Structure 1
Amino acid sequence: MDATTAAVSKRLPGLKKKSSSRSGLRNLVQGCWSYRSPVEKKPDPQPNLPQFSISALPDDVLLDCLARMPRAALQTAMMVCQKWRSILKSTEFYEMRKQNGRVENLLFVFGGAGTGFLSAVYCKSSGSWRAGLLCSGRSIAENDWLSGYHNENHALLHAQPAVIKHRIFILGANPCRFSKSVGIECTIVYDAWTKTLRRGAPMHCPRKKFACCVIADRIFVAGGANRNDSGRDAITDSEMYIPELDAWKPIASMPRKRYGGLGAAVNGVFYVIGGLKFSSTLWSSMQPYIYVASMDAFDTNLNCWQKTKVLPMDGCVIACTVVGRAIYMLTSHAVELSFWKYDTWDESFTRVKPPPIPSPLRIDNCLKFSCVTMGSDVYIIQVGGSIDDLLRRSGRNGRGYKEGLVLIYDTCTLEWSRGPDLPYVKNGATCTVVQC
């Protein structure tokens, strides 16, 4: 800067030094294009939608949703809330599952083994058995009344099952007399959905070897013998159980005594078939009892017993089941088995093709069969005893071997087939089918 310029600058303090051309261009560009930070575009506001939960659904819609759950999830669903629990325990829920095809037939076999209740479950769709304990050790610890049954080898030896929807009522189980529990005589209720046991009201008469059936969600029992009576005399007493009240009430007594009779229900009629009649000459006769070759029928609508029907077959009826309007009966004739069909509409008996068991048989005294229905098929399950002739034919020796035969009779094709053998269940006694 020369002297002249310096002097001018002193006189004119607003005068600045002239910038170079490059700086001027930069200033020009900056003046034209100023940096602006990007502005985030806000999304358009959404309309306020109401928030719904599954519990806010109408009851009929909620019922339909819950009815479509798999059976394995029902136990957990019952613990969600009180409303769900009440829905899942309702009759409407069970009927909705049936309409949706969510129920299937499961064959249960119960047996006591001294160390706990053993059970075996057969699923028709898979064609296989699954065995295990009916209740866990924790259940025993939490329920003192179970210990009397849990520790008894023959707790279910004379028990009878009755099924109402997905619940199995085990009647006449024999508790351990040495148990510390007081008043443990009861009806054992098993829920096939939740896999839990609970205690129900005991029968007025603690009986064994009695007949039972279910009609319109009511359990009917008749006959047998009083377990507390050392004389083991057959009785005619009959009772009815009301599940929602957990109470038994007496009904009209049978016209004759029956010990070991079998029960079946068709169209509101309770049939009591066969059985034994103990003789009054117990000590003077080598044959202290005789078979009762007849059956009595109790009409639940008329609340009375009808005329006795004579059975045409000889020997004793050892198992029976119902398919439609017909009662199928398995009978023993000392050295062979026969199979009969009784049509309740025209009251006719027909002898049908016997089960494929070779005869003559030397049947062990402990041999026991049970008959159940799955769909249109009759299942005959050997739940106890031994068949010596079958052991010899298969190359095995010895007595007392439990075969566990499962024979299936198709009532449509009238043919027999062999099912998978029953897993080992000691003292298997209670056998029934549940739709769950």
Structure 2
Amino acid sequence: ESPLEFSFVFTLQDYLKSRHPELFYKRLEARNSPLVENTVPMIKQVLKHDILLSYPFESMAPFLRFLDEASRDPQVISIKMTLYRVAKNSKVVKSLIRAAENGKDVTVLVELRARFDEENNIAWSKQLESAGCHVIYGLSELKVHSKLCLVTYRTDEGIQYLTQIGTGNYNEKTSKLYTDFCLMTSEHAFGEEANELFTHLCLGETDHNANLLLVAPHCMISKIFEKIDEQIKLAKAGKPAYVGFKCNAVTSKKMIEKLVEASQAGVKIQLIVRGICCIIPGIKGYTENIHVISIVGRYLEHSRIYIFGDKNPEVYISSADLMTRNLERRVEVGAPIHDPRIKKTILNMFDIMLHDNVKASRLLNDGTYKRVKNKQEKINSQEYFFKKKV
């Protein structure tokens, strides 16, 4: 008897705010990233060092400022971007339109099959085209789910790439509701591979040869398996071996089989999976080295983290969940974290989430979840990240 369409709740929310404030969460303000200087142009900062934004704990404003600067800067030659979901009154799209109007070469891949956002995406596509942007309407057989932006910048030394890779959409509204990462870097190898990927997408193809980046559907799952195999080899040699994933779902049969193999070899595996998880942990001789928790709190856990190694681990952020559709039937991008400060931040966040004993539930070996309760200090990881820097 429930209604199928729930948009009326937004109206109800506005009605109740002044009448029943006790029904609402206390407002939490996103802080400025410690890696960002508010008085210095974003492009100059990205050219100097990598920047990570962690939504909703940190504001999306620095990325919006970066894109706005790129739309106006005479040294910017081109902007290339993938759009999956954007806000109704999108500042991102407005910056792209401004860039085209300022004579920059703007290429935008708009995924028209973004569920529930088809109409919104079509409307924005028409505006982008009218402004002179080159709009690509996805690929015929694959959804483009990657979160990728490439700015080509002319300097006295030559061409410089500024690349942004994220785990979530370019949507100002969801950046306040979903936990996500946004990495901005001027590392040339990132830019070269991102440029190569955009070249393939413009030709209606996918990239088979990425070296630094993880790019689905052709060279993501295979590279993840290579990383896991390295840990299996270490475990068999009696050395510490570790794999950690944070994602929305684990349903890929191939991935599950590989994780089982790693567990049987003695690799310690920790999974933070918000939603569906089709691997049962803690079965002796099978998945006894796999531990799974789910965090369901005020904000939707949406960021994806891949960790390989016990000491000095490799850390990636990605747009892809461990699902067959993401790893084998979509265009997804994962990126390694090279900046030591940023790597430390992500590893600390992962560790704090593993110690959440307020909003976390543990998946048991009978397939049921049990809320994590212990005598340790109470940690609600989402609230923790708002109040404390990591």
**What TM-score results when the alignment is normalised by the length of structure 1?**
0.26
From the CA coordinates, give the structure whose radius of gyration is larger. 1
Per chain length, whose mean CA-contact separation is higher, i.e. which structure has more relative contact order (CA < 8 Å, sep 6+)? Answer: 2
Judging by fraction of residues, say which structure has more helix: 2
Judging by fraction of residues, say which structure has more strand: 1
